[in-house]
Structure 1
Amino acid sequence: MEPLRIALTVAKRFGKTRHHDIRVIVEGDAARLRIPSLPLRPELMITDQTTTCTGLEREPVVQRHSALRALAAAETRWVALPVWSALCEALGTPMREEDLRDVASNRPDLLAVSFDESGEERVHIISEAVRLRIRELDEATAHDQHRIVRRLSAESPAGSVERYVAQALPVHAALAGVMEEILADGGLLVRVDRYALLQGLAVAWPDGVPQGSIATDIHYSEREGIDPRSHGDWISWLHWAAVTRGLTEVASGLAASAVDMPWRTLWSRWRPHGTFGRIPSEVGKILFYDQLQAGVIGEEPVAAARKVLQWDTMGGPLDDRYLERAFRVTDGIEVTPPAPLQLHYENGEEVRIGGASGWVSAASAEVPEYPETSPPWTPRTGDPVVPAGAGRWLIGGHGGLYAVELQASTDPDVDMRARGPLLGPVTDMATWQCPEAALAADGPSRFWLEGIFGSGACRTVQESDLPAGVRNERARRFLTTVGMPSLPKEIPFMSTVALDEQGLVPVEWPADAPAPESEGPFYHLGFWTGGMVLLDGSSGAVLQDTNSGYSSEVLASSLLQFTTLLALYREYFTSLFSTEAEVRDARWSLREWAERIDPVTEDGDHWDDVLDGSLDDPNSH
């Protein structure tokens, strides 16, 4: 992974320097890695090293010593003798360390021996070309790699083998096809370094990590700049991800480890990364200190989360109306039903009308503060962070709310960031999974559409009221059974009429517009950025009359595809994503879904603007 990232990132950037004083030399094996072509003609120096490996397959030492195969299978350049011995055992040819020492001393032309900073003896194959050739001659299979994973996982956490586990176990698991086993075991996750885990994810899923697992959280944590120097700090973040996603066993395994975690998550009402669409009972964005308060109800310490009911165009509350929810600080259980709240200030004092029953703020209840503790670092400066008792903090943000408890830590690197990754993220995100209901063969159901647009949104037309000009059978069936959603303001760039009230009104194609490709007749469905949205009665296609400012005439091949696309866009538009990376990934996933659902979206200039986000702001058109 790293040579590719260096070629694409470092060499490309250096190649753009004004004076071209820096050159990057890349050594590559053309049979193994295709060096990408780069702009500005960077220089590539290619050295033919095939002579190093000539006849290697006939080399007696390679045939006689399977230990070389085990050494070549290692995922670090230098390998301690206990690690080499463990790899030999995993691959079915156990050898003692002293025997391996003899192998190394007898072949100084192939193997180098040195000592690490702790004085432990280590070995490596001198030529990388030779190491790769040995791998090619007898490559470790997925089954072999799984045996290595099992052997390393069974090792007691100590010594050089454990250091190798921290560096290499995820890549071995990826090559074995069992990366999910590592991710599902908190006891194993604590044993591997963050960077090694990222490398394992990149190898396991070269086309992007799948949506909906803790791998998703690890990817987006990297995109958010969560790169702690402290391993314990990283395990605290992994524990947060597991709690947020509801992975109880993983969270328990992480918390039960001997790792020095500086903080742990008590509970989380944060939106899991990579979630598309709205989530029932979602807390919503908690961006201001007015939205997050510590207090008591009775004698129970609680956190009050206040959901803004309507945001203004500048990203702040439009008025003083909220929906207040109260969660017990210790375990996050909601202690009162959500309640409307009006909140304003008089002479600097908070004045409440309504809200959670029995709520008393921490200040009014004289709950002591604990200034001797500091909250853990968060990726976004300015997110509300509120003390909630000894060593406990409430943290809000774009994803919602969670509570943490600080733990004693002796690690000097806690809260220190590595300020990376300098080469960009190690992992990529795969295309998100399209909701199954959007891909149903018989079209979108009324149940699914109204789950997105609201109960009663779909308006049907009686069969007897359908104009004779609507000759397309699929359109007739959709209009009389599912119904066209009435969308006065749910979509920022378009609206539809209530067909049960207005009916299908025939309209003429505008005289000043280019002649339509369809024969009509045409019926009014709504508006798209100022132009009319029309149903072609003969083909069943949905068109726009080009008064919208767009030249592409066809919006969708059918009413079924049109309403499906609108529903998916509405889900995207109302999703409370917690990171900008998720917004981007959801948008390009939506584009791929749209092209799959209706190929006309691929070439339509109107859908181009929708799917690149240009029409998300209702004031932009």
Structure 2
Amino acid sequence: MPADEAKSSHARIVTTLSAADASDATRWYAERALAGHAAAADRFEAFLEDTEAVARVGFATLFEAFEAAFHGQPITQGTAAARLHYLARRGGQPSSQGEWLALLHLTLMQAGSTERAAADRLLAAAGPVALPWRTLWAQGVGADAFRTDALVKRPIVRTLRIAHTPSGNVVTARTRRDHIGTWGLATGAPRPEPGEATSTPGTTSADQGPQGWRPAGAADGAVDLPRMPEYVRRGVRLGDHLALASTDGVFVVEINQGAGREASSGLLKRLVSTGTTLAPADLPATALAPTTDWLTDLWDVTAVKRFPQETLPSALSDAGARQFLSSVGFPCVTGFLELDTTGLADTGLRPVAEPTEQEPAYYSLGWWQGARLLLDGHDGRVLQDGSSGIEDALAGSSLSQFVAMVRLYYWWFASDWSIEDTESDVRHWLDLIDPDAYRTQGWQRVFEDYNFEDRV
């Protein structure tokens, strides 16, 4: 039949299969075909937002439909489809519908508070399907759950333990040197760090490797813990509670001893994989008109220096630069991009030479990649003086554009990334903000040259 007619037919089937009062036979068919009909009707993204419908669909047919729906069509970041993309890329290996729902529930819990209601609906919709374990709480930043208004922090957990305190059992996580956090074992509520001598007897500690769980610190052996995706690295069990550390953060699950063990003869043949791709992330709207708050979200308030109009040199004739310096401010920072503008906070805007009628005034902003960074007082461009050997002078077509590019680069540079390193997104954003500056040797070098003194 014609494509439009076929799509309309599939849409009607989706409506019928999604009915709450569907017969047992219809529900049987929906479990195996609803996702496919949704993909054929071009309604797969809407289907994924229906948590109850997703819970009723077998995971094998769900991923077949997922691949079909997004074949050659990039997935919008921050969506339910993006969560499926990352779950597949990160080694999800469900051997049963219950284990699949447990994994999906985990991704919703790791997505943050905005998805907690969906996580609750998923559990309610599971019905008679027994989950082998259930996520009680999650701390950290899940895949695709970050925002650019704060640094993404995913410290590497080296020590994970469960300890007993007067107020109850807690789970605590540390890097090699620093305390990451301590939380109530069952609730996830923040708690004070316990002392060194408060370890709880009866705990089992394990690390996950290619062959599954092994005793913590051991090269081989086996520990009887629930299977987890490969991005989960460490676990500590106390009774039915299992604290786990992943590349995203820390979470705790409750093991369902009554769920039993389902046969998993096809375990290694049912690895969930994906050939889908993600679309570039949307450029943060604030990047096109930076504000003081957007800058101080990442940098200390004292690092963003405002220059009142009356303190600016009269020869600085570019209205945009004057307005930006007085109302938004300029970041006086160092430690990345081989950039050092800290001196500007003390000296203010000073000309590198006295302006003449023939030559515009140039004002020193600091140093960048071994060259002096200058503000052209006539047209507001940010330039480098060429003393480093970089031939392209342009660093920013305006002060606002240069600061926006620096701010987004710093957000990426100073954040902790696991699977979804957003370098390609940052490149895309900088190209949208100031294509002329982005294509210069200076801006290309900050991604291609890893011998920066402040990056090694």
TM-score w.r.t. length of structure 1: 0.62
Q: Provide the C-alpha distance between the structure 1 equivalents of 2:198 and 2:269, rounded to a whole number of angstroms.
A: 36
Residue 374 of structure 1 corresponds to: 225
Cα pair distance change 1:537/1:477, threshold 3 Å = same
1:496 aligns to what? 341
1:284 and 1:186 map into 2 onto residues whose CA distance is 28
Instruction: Please tell me whether the aligned partners of residues 87 and 107 of structure 2 are also in contact (alpha carbons under 8 angstroms).
Output: no
CA pair 615-478 structure 1, distance change in 2 beyond 3 A: farther
Q: Which 5+ residue runs of structure 2 have no aligned equivalent?
A: 206-214, 216-222
Q: Distance in 2 between matches of 1:191 and 1:445?
A: 46
1:532 partner letter: R
Q: 1:266 aligns with which of 136, 140, 143?
A: 136
> Which residue matches 1:385?
235
406 and 476 in structure 1: CA distance in 2 versus 1, 3 angstrom threshold: same
Supply the AA of the counterpart residue of 1:482.
V
What is the Cα deviation at residue 595 of structure 1? 1.5
Q: Per-residue displacement from partner, 1:360-414 (whole Å, max 9, x unpaired)?
A: 6663x43455998414323147x22222x21321111221111112223331229
In structure 1, give the amino acid aligned to 2:57.
V
- Trace 1:219-368 onto structure 2 (pairs within 5 A): 219-245=85-111, 246=113, 247-256=115-124, 257=126, 258-277=128-147, 284-289=154-159, 292-306=160-174, 308=175, 317=176, 320=177, 322-336=178-192, 356=193, 359=195, 363=199, 365-367=200-202
Q: Give the whole-Å Cα distance in 2 for the aligned partners of 1:168 and 1:406.
A: 31
2:61 corresponds to = 196
Contact persistence 2:133–2:254 (CA under 8 A): yes
Q: C-alpha separation between the residues in 1 aligned to 2:93 and 2:360?
A: 59
Equivalent residues in 2 for 1:19-418, closer than 5 Å: 134-136=1-3, 139-142=5-8, 144-154=9-19, 162=27, 164-202=29-67, 204=69, 206-245=72-111, 246=113, 247-256=115-124, 257=126, 258-277=128-147, 284-289=154-159, 292-306=160-174, 308=175, 317=176, 320=177, 322-336=178-192, 356=193, 359=195, 363=199, 365-367=200-202, 369=204, 373-380=224-231, 383-387=233-237, 389-407=238-256, 408-413=259-264, 416-418=267-269
- Superposed displacement of residue 467, structure 1: 2.5
Q: What SS does the corresponding residue of 2:365 show, helix, strand or coil?
A: strand
Which AA in structure 1 matches 2:172? A
383, 386, 411: which one aligns with 1:543:
383
Match of residue 428 from structure 2: 592
3-state SS, counterpart of residue 11 of structure 2 = helix
Distance 2:58 2:389 in 1: 54
**Which contiguous aligned blocks of 4+ residues in structure 1 show a shift greater than 6 angstroms?**
278-283
Instruction: Give the partner amino acid of 2:274.
Output: P
SS at match of 2:390: coil
Given the alignment, which residue of 476, 481, 496 partners 2:322? Answer: 476
Report the CA distance between 1:267 and its aligned residue.
0.9
**What amino acid sits opposite 2:201 in the alignment?**
E
In 1, are the aligned partners of 2:109 and 2:138 still within 8 Å (CA)?
A: yes
Between the aligned partners of 1:562 and 1:415, the Cα distance in structure 2 is 54
CA distance in 1, matches of 2:448, 2:139: 30
Mapped to 2, the partners of 1:379 and 1:449 lie a distance apart of 36
Cα 1:250–1:409 shift into 2, 3 Å: farther
CA distance in 2, matches of 1:268, 1:324: 14
On the 8 A contact 1:244/1:271 being kept in 2, the answer is yes
Q: Would the aligned equivalents of 1:199 and 1:427 in 2 still touch at CA under 8 Å?
A: no
Q: Per the alignment, do residues 276 and 435 of structure 1 end up closer, same or farther by CA in structure 2, a change over 3 Å counting?
A: farther
Q: Structure 1 counterpart of 2:10, which letter?
A: Q
Per the alignment, do residues 139 and 482 of structure 1 end up closer, same or farther by CA in structure 2, a change over 3 Å counting?
same
Query: Aligned equivalents of 2:377 and 2:99: distance in 1?
Result: 62
Which residue identity lines up with residue 74 of structure 2 in the other structure? G
Question: Structure 1's 613 and 259: CA in aligned 2 closer, same or farther, altered over 3 A?
Answer: farther
Task: Spell out, residue by residue over 1:93-117, the C-alpha distance to the aligned partner (whole angstroms, 9 max, x if none).
Answer: xxxxxxxxxxxxxxxxxxxxxxxxx
Give the letter for the 1:609 counterpart.
R
Check whether the contact 2:91–2:230 (CA below 8 A) recurs between aligned residues. Answer: yes
Distance 1:544 1:325, change over 3 A: same
Q: Deviations for 1:202-228, whole angstroms, at most 9, x for unmatched residues?
A: 555553222223322211111222243
* Deviations 1:556-577 (CA, angstroms, capped at 9, x unpaired): 1001011111111122123333
In structure 1, what is the equivalent of residue 208 of structure 2? Answer: none
Letter of the 2:377 partner, please give it: G
Q: Which residue of 2 aligns with 1:608?
A: 444
Return the offset for 1:598.
Answer: 1.0
1:359 CA drift (Å) = 4.6
Alpha carbons 1:202, 1:209 under 8 Å: kept: no
Q: Does residue 398 of structure 2 align to residue 534 of structure 1?
A: no
In the TM superposition, residue 525 of structure 1 has moved relative to its aligned partner by: 0.9
Residues 130-172 of structure 1 deviation map (CA, whole Å, 9 limit, x = unaligned): xxxx344x72244x3332112122375856x556434432232
Q: Percent identity, please.
A: 28
The gaps in structure 1 that reach 5 residues or longer are 1-133, 309-316, 337-355, 510-517
- Find the aligned partners of 1:164 and 1:213 in 2 and give their Cα distance: 27
**1:485 and 2:331 aligned:** yes
TM-score (norm 2): 0.83
The equivalent of 1:95 in structure 2 is none
Partners in 1 of 2:438 and 2:186 — Cα distance?
51
